[in-house]
Amino acid sequence: MARDQFGSAQPTQQELATFASDTVVPNLQGQLDDLRALTPPEGDSETTSAIYVSLEEAVNALEADPAGALNNNPDLDQATRLASDYGLITCGAE
């Protein structure tokens, strides 16, 4: 996403903030909504809930400080780690 938007150019803080607000937040919120619409496998609701809570906190941080949270978002890092540990992978990843 970011590479398509900025190429190899270094975006300004305002450009980062706009990108986070207009692209990243809606994308992550859509993923969260889609995941929450699924019924987790039996016995996994505690694990999936932890992923969803971390992702929701990451989205909230991005909404509060788009450019700052895009560069440093421990909740997003945690959600990514939890999702990876659970077995979710990034679309298109090899």
Name the nearest CA neighbour of 35 among 93, 88, 76.
88
Strands (E), the chain: none
Q: Is residue 7 part of a domain?
A: no
In this predicted structure, the answer to whether residue 86 has a pLDDT above a threshold of 90 is yes
pLDDT tens track for 8-32: 778 888 888 899 999 999 999 999 9
Q: Is residue 41 part of a domain?
A: yes
Q: How many domains are there within the chain?
A: 1
In this predicted structure, the answer to whether residue 7 has a pLDDT above a threshold of 80 is no
Q: Is residue 75 part of a domain?
A: yes
Q: Is residue 6 part of a domain?
A: no
Contact (CB, 8 A) for 66 and 12: no
pLDDT tens track for 45-67: 999 999 999 999 999 999 999 98
For residue 42, count other CB atoms closer than 10 A to its CB: 6
What angle (nearest 5°) sits at the alpha carbon of residue 22, between those of residues 17 and 23? 100
pTM of the model: 0.83
Report how far apart the first and last C-alpha atoms of the chain are (Å, whole number): 17
Q: Is residue 23 part of a domain?
A: yes
